[in-house]
Structures are given as structure tokens and as C-alpha cells.
Chains A and B, each alone.
Chain A
Amino acid sequence: MDDLETQIVEWRSYVAKSPAVDGRDLDELDAHLRDQIAELNAAGLTDDEAFLVAVKRMGDLDSLSREFAREHHDRLWKQLVLSGENERASSMSGWLEAIVFALAAAITLQCARLAADFPEEEPTWLLRNISFFVLPFVAAYFARRRRLDLRGCLLTAAPFGLLALVVNLYPYGPDSTTEMIVALQLPVLLWFAVSYPYMGGTISSHERRMDFVRFTGEWVIYYALIALGGGVLLMLTAMIFKPIGTDMSERVIEWVLPAGAAGAVIVAAWLVESKQRVVENMAPVLTTIFTPLFALMLTVAAVAYAVSGLSGDFNRELLGVFDALLVVVLGLVLYAMSARETTGSPGPMDRVQLLAVASALVLDLMVLGTMLARIGDLGFTANRVAALGLNLVLLVNLAGAAWLSTRFLRGRITLHRLERWQTSYLPVFVVWAAIVVIVIPPLFSFD
């Protein structure tokens, strides 16, 4: 019997090597194997024979882990780095690739900066086009990594080409507000354009869309980390070069900062791709810390607003603040979703999250109500239309998410439906960003 036990333990550790099979699956397969062995024993086979037959019936490990991987896509994502030696070789060559693209982005941005004679001059075309100097390289990097065919590459390039024409052919007036709005929205729209090569061209797949959402979240974490490190480096550099002359330290920063900021976009993307495992431990921790804090802050704010009312000192630009708030809450919801097991049952954290979302919705509705009541004397400006539209788009998303997570908490639906809602909603964000960049400037006569 001891012998059989050793054999089963060995088999278990062998199956456990597949990244798609987790501990609880192993328990389940283990119980199955023991049931099978017991029955074969009863039919007269020895332990050894029974073990061999049972393992054979279970199926060979390759096809078994392939089947598990097909179902548990998210687990593979979390353990990309662990899959052995071959993977390590390819991630090293990925390193070189990433550096080349990062350098290309940095050099392009520097050329643009020199052409614009920044910071002596501050032409608006530089600000408006800034994402065109960086994000196409991210798209190209993924097109290469995913080995897209010619058609895929053309479809990747198409949105960049079209938007470059639109953004640069529009005749913006001097000190134009719409131009500033375009400068702010364009990076978002181009980021969505990166999703096409990222998903390897399969944009209709909900699983791949969820992967892109995950990628975006983790990219933000990595970029923030690199920016922090870069900030410390630049601060020290400035102080060290100061004795040589203030002019000298300014020159250094002028050259290093834009190049570093552009290159870091691609380096962060590469890090997310190849060092997945590191962040995988960070995203759930960040969500666990910040979801309750946001829930608390939002609930207190909602109560305070309800008691004191908004009328006192209503700021016209308050809507922008609430847009930012809703974006952050949506970010928390998406982080939490991407970090948890899809088959899990609701826990206390889901309730806290629902509280945060509900409070944010109540607050936002109060602000929107006041805003709409005063739209008469405030009037429509490009800024307000952009802020209001974004607010509505986010409001509908979060209201849907809140409704679905209430049903999830009651055990009516699975998490799968919540994920579907978010992934199906992504095109709405794309359409709105496109409207802001393409339709709003002519609507307000490029003012």
C-alpha cells in the first residue's frame, strides 16, 4: 500500500507541473484515480496493475493539460514565466526586441522635440501629436510578437494613419479648446488601437478582450513603478550636475526625461508580457487595500453631499473630477475581476466593492442632476460635452456592473456574466473616444 501511495504522489507532482492545473483540480483528479484503483483492485488486479491502468485511462499529460488550459485560460496568463526553458529563451530575445522598439520611440520623440524647438517654443502640434510618437511603436512591437500576417499589419496601421490625418488636417483655431480635448483623448483612442495587434487580430474574442484589460491594468502598475524610479534618478542627476551649472542640469533633464518616458511605455509593455508573475501578486494586494478605503471615502462623501447639498459652492469643472473618480472606481472593479478565480463564489470583498460602486453612482447622479438643472445658464461648451459624455458612458457601465454584481451576490448569476458585461462594453468606450476626437472639433467649429 505504501508503494501505491508513493506512486500516486509521484503522479500528482508530475501532473502539477502543468500551469493550467491547480491544487484543487489535483485533489479532484487524485480522488478519481483512487476510485478507479479501488474498483480495479476489487476486480482482482494488483496495486501496480491497477495504478497503471488508472493512469492510462486518465489520459496522457499533454492532452490533459491542453484541455485544462483551454478552459482555464486565466491561469496560464498568471504563470506565463513558469513554463520552462524554451520560454526563457524566447523571453530573452523578446528583451532585445523591446529595447529596439523602445529606442525607436525615444529617438522619434526626441526628433519631434528638436523640430518643435521645445521647451523654448511650445507649439500645440507637438502636444496634440505626442501619442503618435510613441504608441505606434507599441502596436508594431505587438504586431511583431504576435506574428501578424500582412493583412493584420495593415489593419494595425490603418487606425493610426487615419487618425494622424484627421488630427492634423483639422484647422484648429488659436488657443483652441477642442485641440486640447483631442490631445487628451487621442492617447486613449490609440491605446485601443494597440489592442488589435495585442489580441493577435481576434478582437471579437471575449477572453482576449479580458486579457487586454488585464494587460492595461498591469501596464499602469509597471509604468508607475518605472516613473517613480526615473523620478528619483532625475532628481539626483539634477542635484549632481548643479555645481557645474544650472544650465547643464536642465540640458540633461531635457534630453533624458522625454526619451525615458517614451521608452518606458514599451519597456513596461514588455515587462507585463514576460514578467507576469511578479505583478500577479501585486494586483490583488492593491485591490484589497484600496477597495475598502475607496468604499469608505465614497460612502462618507455621499452622506455628506446628501446632508449639505451641492448648491453652496458648485464648481463648474466638478464634472471632470467625477469623471476621474468613476475611472478609478471602474479600474478597481476591473482589477478585482481580473485577479480572482472565475469560478469562485461571492466573498466579503465583493460586497465592499459593490458598496464603493453604489456610493460612486449616487454621488455622480447628484452632481449630474445639479449639472443638468443648470445647463441653461452654463451652456454647452466642447469641454462640457466631452466631460458629460464620458460621465454618462461610465455611469451606464458602472450601473450595469452594480446591477449584475447584486445578482451575483445573491447567487443568481456567475462571475462569467459580469466579465461578459465589461468585455462587451469595451467598444462603447472606443466609439465615445472616436466621437470626441473626430466629431466634436467640427461640431464646435474647432474653437
Chain B
Amino acid sequence: MYKGSSYGKANVNIHKDLVAASATTLVLAILAEGENYGYSILKRVKELSEGELEWTDGMLYPLLHRLLRLGYVTTEWRTPPEGRRRRYYSITEDGRAALADQQRQWVTVTRALGNVWQGPDPLPMTLGEA
């Protein structure tokens, strides 16, 4: 379903569970930047992760539909002046609240990991170069 990319210099293979767990937060965070449509959201994901994080494209849509059902996003079909008809998604107040909550969780987790791998040259980097 989800796959970590294997190109780029660090050559990090992100486990599919981790990709799946972070997907919701990432999509909500991208939509918090402004309304967006599927293809462009995926491009933004690649951009933000510098190509390290890549999803199977089709899987984004069931995820977006789940957010829609939960009321975290709203959607609208629109045809921009130049370009094709696309389905735009934008975040709701509920979505922002959920994002804030998830953000707290991720910050806690990354802080804990950061603390355990203290120092300017953390362990994962060394492994990455190897």
C-alpha cells in the first residue's frame, strides 16, 4: 500500500506503518497551508520530504475521503481558468483542531527520540552514510 522511496543519497527506507501513521497529519498540515487538490498534495509531500517520502498515488484518495467523512476537510469540484476540472479540498475548524492534537503527539515523540539520540551527529545519520 504505502512504500518508502529508495532513491536520494541517504537511502532511507521508511517502514510502511510509519508512512501510514504520518500520512493523515501530513495531509492535514499541507491543507492548513491552503486549499489544494490530490495531485498537487502529492507533489507537496515529495517536495517537503525531499523525495524521501513517496506514496502510491491512488492511496491518497481514500485517505482524503476519510478526512471528509470525519468532517476535517470540505471539498468542491472546480475548474480553474487554465487547467482541468479538479476536486479541491480545504481544512475545517475540526480539521485544524485534529491537526493541533496530532502535532502535539508528533512533537512529543520526536522530542523523546531526539533526547535519546542526543548530540549534534545523531545515530540515524551515521547509519544513513554507511
Contacts and interface: CB of A to CB of B under 8 A. Distances in A.
Interface of A: 24-25, 27-29, 31-32, 34-36, 57-59, 63-64, 67-68, 70-72, 342-343, 413-414, 416-417
A32 B87 CA distance: 10
Contacts of A27: 77, 85, 87
A29 B71 contact: no
B104 interface: no
Interface stretch (B27-35, B59-67, B111-119, B120-128): B59-67
B39 A36 contact: yes
B57 A58 contact: yes
Interface in B1-54: 1, 37-40
Given A59-B56, A414-B70, A67 B62 contact: yes
Nearest to B70: A416
Contact of B62 (A31, A58, A70, A414): A70
A439 B40 CA distance: 61
Contact of A414 (B40, B59, B71, B87): B71
Contact of A59 (B37, B59, B65): B59
B62 to A, nearest CB: 4
A63 B69 contact: no
Contacts of A31: 37-39, 84-87
Contacts of A58: 56-58
A32 B56 CA distance: 12
B72 to A, nearest CB: 9
Contacts of B37: 31
B57 A36 contact: yes
Contacts of A416: 69-71
A36 B61 CA distance: 15
Q: In the complex, which range does the number of interface residues on chain B fall in?
A: 20 to 34
A67 B59 contact: yes
Interface of B: 1, 37-40, 56-59, 61-63, 65-66, 68-71, 77, 84-87
B39 A64 contact: no
A98 B39 CA distance: 48
Contacts of B58: 29, 58-59, 64, 67
A28 B38 contact: yes
Given A32-B39, A68-B61, A416-B71, A63 B1 contact: yes
Nearest to A25: B61
Contacts of A35: 39-40, 84
Query: Most chain-A CB neighbours within 10 Å: which of B39, B57, B63, B87?
Result: B57
A29 B65 CA distance: 13
Closest 9 CB pairs of A and B: A59-B56, A414-B71, A35-B39, A59-B58, A71-B62, A67-B62, A64-B58, A58-B58, A57-B57
A29 B85 CA distance: 12
A342 to B, nearest CB: 6
Given A25-B61, A68-B61, A414-B71, 4 more contacts: A28-B86, A28-B87, A71-B63, A416-B70
Contacts of B65: 25, 71-72, 343
Contacts of A36: 39, 57
Nearest to B42: A32
B79 to A, nearest CB: 10
Contacts of B62: 67-68, 70-72
A112 B91 CA distance: 62
21 contacts: A25-B65, A27-B77, A27-B85, A29-B61, A31-B37, A31-B86, A31-B87, A32-B38, A35-B40, A36-B57, A58-B56, A59-B1, A59-B56, A63-B1, A64-B56, A64-B59, A67-B1, A67-B58, A70-B62, A342-B69, A417-B71
A32 B57 contact: yes
Contacts of A67: 1, 58-59, 62
Nearest to B39: A35
B99 to A, nearest CB: 17
A63 B69 CA distance: 21
A57 B61 CA distance: 13
Contact of B69 (A24, A29, A32, A71): A71
Contacts of A414: 68-71
